[in-house]
Chains A and B, each alone.
Chain A
Amino acid sequence: MNPALPAGVQIVVGLEVHVQLLTQTKLFCGCPTKFGLPPNSATCPVCTGMPGVLPVMNRRAFDLALRAALALGAEVASFTKWDRKNYYSPDLPKNYQISQYDLPFSSVGGLEITTAAGTKFIRLIRVHLEEDAGKMLHDEGGQRRDSLVDLNRAGTPLLEIVSQPDMASPEEAKAYLEELRLLLRELRISDCEMQEGSLRVDANVNVRIPLAGRMVPTPIVEIKNLNSFRAVERAIVYEARRQHEEYQRTGVDMQAGAKTTAGWDDARGVTVIQRRKEEASDYRYFPEPDLVPVVVDAAWLERIRQELGETPAQRRARLRSEYGLPAYDAQVITAQGHAFADYFEAAARASGDAKATANWCTNEVLQLLNDRKITIAECPVPPAAIAELVAQVKQFSINKPKAREVFAQMLATGKPPTALVQELGLNQAMDTELLRGLVQKAIAGNPKAVADVKAGKTKAMDALVGPIMRETKGKAPTEEIRRLMQEELSKS
């Protein structure tokens, strides 16, 4: 590994994301887009590029692309056309890809991300639709001679989302990808499964090095073959360090238009240079004469707006305004997806205490889902039970350890919280005067601790509270004891 970047060196990252749209059929024919079918079974004369066939646009794919554009706050062009991108590849049966070149259907827009460094708006350059290529399988027979092509994926609708180089760290890149994935999943635009190839990321990376009062940019490298968000982060770190080291050695800075392509080798944790600019292709773009341009009128756009639904950003804002949740809670709940957020909202409405409900949801419920590897829909605890638990805890001032015990029993026995609170004897409201008596007794019994507390040693408070907890077998609410303790101490 190259040495860490010195302070002052800035990382610049732009991401190109391709996602497969959640359509039943391909972009220009009626073949299914389902993943995992036998090779070449989901094909027809159109997606295998037979002579004389013609593409017909899938309106559903265009609808989903419009939905994405609106959700990203992009400007939707009222007139868009299709273009041919010409290049030879065995997995591209026509040897051209139908794409949108100079009039993508949306531009501008962006996405707000949150990292430890704060909140930031990542701008988009463009969003456009195109068809996917097939998949090549090399040397399956081990004879080093046979290459096979599976065209099931050929013609699947892809949305390409290109960001500005607005990300300044691997963390920001990851936050952007997570936010984008959440948005596309929540709005049912794509399932964004990296393992199945329905979300693919290429990262454009370079660094800016402070030198004699100015920032010198290094040549941009486009990193491909990134198979996870973790790989994106690692590749950016590696590449930034590599570029910095290379610049120190060669002094070569960024040339206009120059771009190198590299592949990420995840096992070795390195980028491998694949292609320099001078070998870059000339795609000979021209308007696709087999497809009529698409005119998006106000009515069409309005229909998409109607079925758009709430974006994660809107939901986060609503959880804060409607339930008074702190930003962090709203973030964590929204990030789990709409089903989880729906669960929280149902529980919060029933309990009447949103913050307490959020605590249960983001801690115990989330941990339960992770431990059992289940979805919120499969959660054995219904939202009503969470609401009941929150209410019982409040009513009887049940402390956290005891409350967790109730939750554990709920899972173990399936009994409602109310019944369990009774069984565990937690439903005796602690008499405040009784507690006060215990507190006064504790103060009288340990003058050393009292003196320490008064001297500002807050830790000494534990020595006073401990005996009370023992005496009440842990049922006493700690907050209440501390409150009474403060009162009594201020009197003495």
Chain B
Amino acid sequence: MILHERSARELLRDLEAGALSAVDATTAFLEAIRHRDPKVKSFLHVDEAGALALAAAVDARRRRGEPLGPLAGVPVAVKDVLCTRGLRTTCGSKILARFVPPYDAHVIERLRAADAVIIGKTNMDEFAMGSSNENSAFGPTLNPWDLERVPGGSSGGSAAAVAASLAPRALGSDTGGSIGRPASLCGIVGLKPTYGRVSRYGLVAFASSLDQVGIFSHDVGDAALLLETIAGHDARDTTSVDQPVPRYAANVDQPVQPLTIGVAREFFGAGLDPEVEKAVRAALDVYRQQGATIKEISLPNSVHAIAVYYIVATAEASSNLARYDGVHYGHRADRFDSLIHMYSRSRGQGFGPEVKRRVLLGTFVLSSGYHDAYYVKALKVRRLIKNDFDAAFAQCDVIMGPTTPTAAFRLGEKSADPLQMYLSDIYTISCNLVGLAGISVPCGFTQAGLPIGLQILGAPFSEEKLLRVARMHEAATDWHQRRPRL
């Protein structure tokens, strides 16, 4: 495999052995970005100078025999929703087009401490609101497997960058499937950790009770290594949980035995593309062949997940996004004749249509007179969905199904119908509503050559088991070694 198509662990091995310098590795990825990203459009800004400087520093320290971090010298791409000190962080929005944070997100600090090379910031749906990456104010990212199709959203830039081998791994964020969905559509591994596993400090909020930082990589081992780096308690995020971080990467090759896999009938209903279903059933056979027990389960309330999600998420978003008002930072309209006018013009110009739609929805469901009928009821149903999953995890180790109902769709195919677009989130949303851990791994291709993803859901804080289960499939298949030809 050519250098930039290799996994992060393979690169690390060569770097540690002295067979490769961090500058050469970084240069290879910067070259790849220069040549191929104009087609994919996965990066919003590439920090060439910063990346090369970091790489050179790693090389110098290695030459001097100084200790280095566990990710030393390997590039990483970062979704533009994570704050990077001194590096523009736009959230894919015009309203933050010129925003340069004076602080690093917790996960960025962890990456820097591990001596990873932050190569650039990736494209995304505006404020992570979207399923296709078409809602970026800076234009859509395209699917490296078919440039006429979407990469999935909202972390589409990060997923496409890894799929196109423009970065060996990337950070994204997930509020309702924004890791799993693009990972599935781009044919790579996407890991969404349990809510509270990774600090949200510096992750620009969409819906605070659902948001979580996640990982994209070519394989499960790389995801395990990166999770080990970014997971853990952070005093600045009181919702981050103080639990020890297991040695995910060291244990990932151990199969889980015995293994009981729950298959929810609700995840195989109407709307599921037959090609996707076939690939997922084949993946279940891979597990069966390794001695796993497949158990049919039911998650009756999961059918309400989308309704609940679009109430809870928009309610929180309407409040979280109130701060973008043109007063203290971000876009401010040129002309206005009153304070209210300044607010409405700045926000009217700065936000795109999907963000406006969700802010309006969220404001409505929290309004006096509707609050109980929508918001309070949604919280109750959220609890019922959680109860379903609690009961399911009492009977099985993991729950498997398709990550998305279809493979990548064409650009513009669903943008005229927001509801159709929302329905593509149907399998991934419960993971956020309940606060589970989830992973999507490549499990096949459609006739048209589009990747298909297998979703594996685990109980809260079961990442170690989840990664080992995912690795069992990966070890028996070679889907993860395919690369798109651009």
Q: Which residues of A contact B (CB under 8 A)?
A: 45, 48-57, 84, 86, 88, 90, 93-96, 149, 282, 284-286, 289-292
Which 8 pairs between the two chains have the least Cβ-Cβ distance? A95-B322, A289-B208, A284-B366, A289-B209, A51-B204, A52-B204, A282-B368, A52-B202
Q: Does B235 contact A (CB under 8 A)?
A: yes
Interface centre among A93, A95, A284, A285 (most CB of B within 10 A): A284
Contacts of B315 in A (CB 8 A): 286
Partner of B103, one of A45, A49, A88, A93: A45
**Contact across chains for B322 and A96 when beta carbons are under 8 A apart:** yes
Partner of B238, one of A49, A50, A291: A291
Q: How far is the CB of A295 from chain B (nearest CB, A)?
A: 13
Question: Out of A57, A94, A285, A290, which one reaches B323, CB within 8 Å?
Answer: A94
Interface, chain B (partner A; CB < 8 A): 81-83, 89, 91, 96, 99, 101-103, 105, 200-205, 207-209, 235-239, 315-316, 318-319, 322-325, 327-329, 339, 343, 363, 366-368, 371, 375
- In Å, the complex CA distance between A481 and B274 comes to 118
Pick the contact of B368 from A50, A94, A284, A289 — CB < 8 Å? A284
Q: Which residues of B contact A282 (CB under 8 A)?
A: 367-368
List 11 other contacts, CB 8 Å, given A86-B366, A292-B238: A45-B101, A45-B102, A51-B204, A52-B105, A53-B202, A84-B319, A88-B325, A94-B322, A96-B322, A149-B328, A286-B316
Q: How many whole Å from B79's CB to the nearest CB in chain A?
A: 12
Pull 24 A–B residue pairs with CB atoms less than 8 Å apart, ordered by A: A45-B103, A48-B328, A50-B103, A50-B329, A51-B83, A51-B205, A51-B323, A52-B81, A52-B82, A52-B83, A52-B200, A52-B203, A53-B103, A54-B237, A56-B236, A56-B238, A86-B318, A93-B327, A93-B328, A96-B319, A149-B328, A289-B209, A290-B208, A291-B239
Q: How far does the alpha carbon of A84 sit from the alpha carbon of B318 in the complex, in Å? A: 12
CA distance A2 to B387 in the complex (A): 65
By the criterion CB–CB under 8 Å, are B209 and A52 in contact? no
Question: A49 to B320, alpha carbons, bound, how many Å?
Answer: 10
Residue of A nearest to B328 (CB): A93
A290–B239 touching, CB < 8 Å: yes
Nearest residue (CB) in A for B202 is A52
Q: Are B91 and A51 in contact (CB under 8 A)?
A: yes
A153 to B254 Cα, complex, angstroms? 55
Instruction: Give Cα A246–Cα B446 distance, bound, in whole angstroms.
Output: 79
Pair A51/B343 contact, Cβ less than 8 Å: no
CA A149 – CA B91 in complex, angstroms?
26
Task: Give A45 to B85 CA distance when docked, in angstroms.
Answer: 12
CB distance A49 to B328 under 8 Å?
Answer: yes
B105 to chain A, nearest CB (A): 6
B323 x A289 contact (CB < 8 A) = no
Give chain B nearest CB distance to A188 CB in angstroms.
Answer: 27
Instruction: Give complex CA distance A54, B319 in Å.
Output: 14
Contacts of B103 in A (CB 8 A): 45, 50, 53
Closest to B379 in A: A287
The contact of B375 among A48, A84, A286, A289, by CB within 8 Å, is: A286
Given contacts A45-B102, A45-B103, A49-B323, A54 and B201 within 8 Å (CB-CB): yes
Q: What is the distance, in angstroms, from B109's C-beta to the closest C-beta of chain A?
A: 13
Given contacts A50-B101, A90-B339, A284-B371, contact A56 B323 (CB under 8 A): no
- Among B105, B238, B239, B324, find the residue whose CB has the most chain A CB atoms closer than 10 A: B238
Give the Cβ gap from B362 to chain A, nearest Cβ, in Å: 9
CA distance A90 to B336 in the complex (A): 15
- Least CB separation from B196: chain A residue: A292
In the complex formed, the residue of A with least CB distance to B81 is: A52
Q: With both chains docked as a complex, state the minimum distance between the C-beta of B293 and any C-beta of chain A, in angstroms.
A: 37
Using known A-B contacts A50-B103, A51-B96, determine if residue A149 contacts B327 with beta carbons closer than 8 Å.
yes
Residue of B nearest to A55 (CB): B238
Contact A54 B236 (CB under 8 A): yes
Report whether A56 and B319 are in contact in the complex, using a CB–CB cutoff of 8 Å.
no
Residue of A nearest to B342 (CB): A90
**Residue of chain A at shortest CB distance from B207:** A289
Q: Which chain A residues border B83 with CB–CB below 8 Å? A: 51-52
Q: Known interface pairs A86-B322, A284-B367. Does A51 touch B101 (Cβ–Cβ under 8 Å)?
A: yes
Alpha-carbon distance A158/B323, docked complex (angstroms): 21
Contacts of A284 in B (CB 8 A): 318-319, 363, 366-368, 371
CA distance A84 to B202 in the complex (A): 20
With the chains together, A86 CA to B236 CA distance in Å?
23
Residues of A within 8 A of B343 (CB): 88
Question: In whole angstroms, how far apart are the Cα atoms of A117 and B359 in the complex?
Answer: 55
> How many Å lie between the Cα of A49 and that of B139 in the bound state?
28
Instruction: Report Cα–Cα, A54/B207, bound state, in Å.
Output: 13
Residues of B within 8 A of A289 (CB): 207-209, 239, 316
User: Nearest chain B CB to A207's CB is how many angstroms away?
Assistant: 29
Question: For B207, what are the chain A residues with a Cβ–Cβ distance below 8 Å?
Answer: 289
Q: Which residues of A contact B204 (CB under 8 A)?
A: 51-52
CB-based contact B366/A286 at 8 Å: yes
Contact of B322 among A45, A88, A285, A291 (CB under 8 A): A88
CA distance A50 to B330 in the complex (A): 10
Determine how close the nearest CB of chain B comes to the CB of A385; give it in whole angstroms: 53
B324: chain A residues at CB < 8 Å are 51
**CA separation between A284 and B370, bound complex, in Å?**
10
Q: How far apart are A264's CB and chain B's nearest CB, in angstroms?
A: 24
Tell me, rounded to whole Å, the shortest Cβ–Cβ distance linking B373 to chain A.
14
Cβ distance B319 to chain A, nearest Cβ, rounded Å: 5
- Nearest to A288 among chain B residues (CB) is B208
Which of B101, B200, B363, B366 is within 8 Å of A54, CB to CB? B200
Q: Are B101 and A52 in contact (CB under 8 A)?
A: yes
**Whole-angstrom CA separation of A286 from B343 in the bound complex:** 23
Min CB distance A32 to B, Å, is 18
Instruction: List, in ascending order, chain A residues with CB within 8 A of B96's CB.
Output: 51
Which B residues touch A52, using CB under 8 A? Answer: 81-83, 89, 101, 105, 200-205
Asked if A86 meets B319 with Cβ closer than 8 Å, knowing A286-B366, A292-B239, the reply is yes
